[in-house]
Amino acid sequence: MHNLQRTRMNSYQQPDASGHFGPYGGSFVSETLTHAIAQLREAYARYQNDPEFLAEFEYELKHFVGRPSPVYHAARTSRELGGAQIYLKREDLNHTGAHKINNVIGQAMLAKRMGKPRVIAETGAGQHGVATATICARYGLECVVYMGSEDVKRQSPNVFRMKLLGATVVPVESGSKTLKDALNEAMRDWVANVDNTFYIIGTVAGPHPYPMMVRDFQSVIGKEAIEQMPSMLADQKIAAQQPDAVIACVGGGSNAMGIFHPYIPFEKTRLIGVEAAGEGLDSGKHSASLQRGSSGVLHGNRTFILQDANGQITETHSISAGLDYPGVGPEHAWLQEIGRAEYVGITDQEALAAFHFLCRTEGIIPALESSHAFAYAMKLGKTMRPDQSILVNLSGRGDKDIGTVADLSGEDFYDRPSMRGLTVKGAPGDAKP
């Protein structure tokens, strides 16, 4: 553990001027991109505290996204678990159904100001692609989205959504034909078209300033929660002003950084990131970069990555496409090292059981990604007292995942004449007397 652990967290100031979070982050890019990255850094430095820019950002979040997203007390869940009060930050209620749009709006506003008429993006499950295509339609920007050809096949509704919104989707045939290959291809496009093109990265990864910039745009989640929690807790006669723990799932780490960052000075609040443990942390089939990875350089920054002894990126696995990434934002590697955040794993099966539980107990169909965070909240909540509380970042809605869930449950939801609810083996909700 690093001695900075003893640094007062209210003086947490990261990254440094060169984009480093301790030894992580930085900017590892080819010569051709150095200029584009410098230009972006300058533009962001100019606008990040500009009142007119911030006012427009706030306006867009309010009128186009529907912010602030509510904090919801999951009363039935809390009662059934018999432990801590569980609260959900409802990012699933945002326009386009997840937190991703917050960041995309901020970057598209920069693209407009920098005079770049063409936007490119990479996408895995298609959520970031849809959010980017949405904003490009709204701002009249050309939009090209790179997507692994395997993902194009698995996520056809999102591919069609992007096309409806006027975007061009480019299937990527290299490597494992998934997200990391799409990222490589988008970088290549950027090198060739730096003059007219803005690259909108979808998570807190990539070269500096992306990890900081995306975090800043997503921090609206945590800032709102800090305002909302005192009265939510007071309603339950809880004396504390803020939750005992904040829990979020971690793929690249943007929804987690968005809710964690404003909470860093609140030292009594534990920050817990949940990685996809897939078939188990020791199965080799997971996406737990922070818990089973090691330091290395991927996609322009130093961070924790899943690699073999030769530094080759290893295959990852998760039931949820949004968590299936072999790296993680560099700031998470730093928060883990200084001990300000903890990282745990939730398996595919645990996430699926939590998904069904939330559907039936609260009337909310969550994204499979968010189900990982909720699953850990259920585990931890049971060990806590009813006058304690947990805030879960419900990063997105689960409509996109119902096909996956049906397949995994062995159910055919079109052909059955009557359906009074699926039978779910092992779902915590089934244990009722």
* Residues designated catalytic: 100, 122, 395
Q: Is 322 in the site for ligand PLP (CB under 6 A)?
A: yes
Cβ 398 to ligand PLP, closest distance in Å?
Answer: 8
Residue 344, SS3 per DSSP: strand
Cβ 152 to ligand PLP, closest distance in Å?
Answer: 17
Question: Locate tokens 């089973």: which residue?
Answer: 292
Cβ–Cβ < 8 Å for 272, 247:
yes
Stretch that binds ligand PLP, among 2-10, 151-159, 250-258, 345-353 (CB under 6 A): 250-258
Cβ 179 to ligand PLP, closest distance in Å?
Answer: 10
Question: Which CB atom, from 42 or from 399, has the smaller least distance to ligand PLP?
Answer: 399
Alpha carbon separation from 201 to 107, 367, 383 (Å, rounded) = 9, 21, 38
Question: What Rg do the C-alpha atoms of the chain give, in angstroms?
Answer: 21
d(CA 398, CA 13): 35
Stretch that binds ligand PLP, among 50-58, 253-261, 274-282, 406-414 (CB under 6 A): 253-261
Question: Which CB atom, from 222 or from 322, has the smaller least distance to ligand PLP?
Answer: 322
Question: Which CB atom, from 80 or from 181, has the smaller least distance to ligand PLP?
Answer: 181
For the chain, the straight-line distance linking the first and the last C-alpha, in angstroms and rounded, comes to 46
Q: Is 367 in the site for ligand PLP (CB under 6 A)?
A: yes
Residue 142, SS3 per DSSP: strand
Q: Is 249 in the site for ligand PLP (CB under 6 A)?
A: yes
**Region class of 152: left (phi > 0), else alpha (psi between -120 and 50), else beta:** alpha
Buried b / exposed e over 104-138, threshold 16 CB at 10 Å, is: bbbbbbbbeeeebebbbbbbbbbbbbbbbbbbbee
Binding-site string for ligand PLP from residue 140 to residue 179, where x marks contact by CB under 6 A and - marks none:
----------------------------------------
Say which amino acid occupies 95: H
d(CA 375, CA 294): 26
Question: Which CB atom, from 105 or from 238, has the smaller least distance to ligand PLP?
Answer: 105
d(CA 233, CA 239): 7
Q: Is 273 in the site for ligand PLP (CB under 6 A)?
A: no
d(CA 258, CA 221): 6
Residues 112-131 that bind ligand PLP (CB under 6 A): 127
Cβ 275 to ligand PLP, closest distance in Å?
Answer: 9
Q: Is 301 in the site for ligand PLP (CB under 6 A)?
A: no
Cβ 159 to ligand PLP, closest distance in Å?
Answer: 15
Q: Which residue is nearest to ligand PLP (CB)?
A: 396
d(CA 203, CA 124): 11
Stretch that binds ligand PLP, among 45-53, 243-251, 301-309, 332-340 (CB under 6 A): 243-251
Stretch that binds ligand PLP, among 146-154, 224-232, 254-262, 340-348 (CB under 6 A): 254-262
Say which amino acid occupies 125: A
Binding-site string for ligand PLP from residue 70 to residue 109, where x marks contact by CB under 6 A and - marks none:
----------------------------x-x---------
Stretch that binds ligand PLP, among 37-45, 192-200, 234-242, 366-374 (CB under 6 A): 366-374
Question: Locate tokens 């499950």: which residue?
Answer: 125
148, 251, 262, 327: which one binds ligand PLP (CB under 6 A): 251
Q: Is 331 in the site for ligand PLP (CB under 6 A)?
A: no
Output the DSSP codes for 92-128.
GGSTTSBTHHHHHHHHHHHHHHTT--EEEEEESSSHH
Question: Locate tokens 């945002």: which residue?
Answer: 94
Binding-site string for ligand PLP from residue 387 to residue 406, where x marks contact by CB under 6 A and - marks none:
--------xx----------
- The contacts of residue 136 (CB under 8 Å, 6+ apart) are 108, 119, 142, 143, 165, 166, 167
Stretch that binds ligand PLP, among 22-30, 221-229, 365-373, 379-387 (CB under 6 A): 365-373
Q: Which residues bind ligand PLP (CB under 6 A)?
A: 98, 100, 127, 203, 249-256, 322-323, 367, 369-370, 395-396
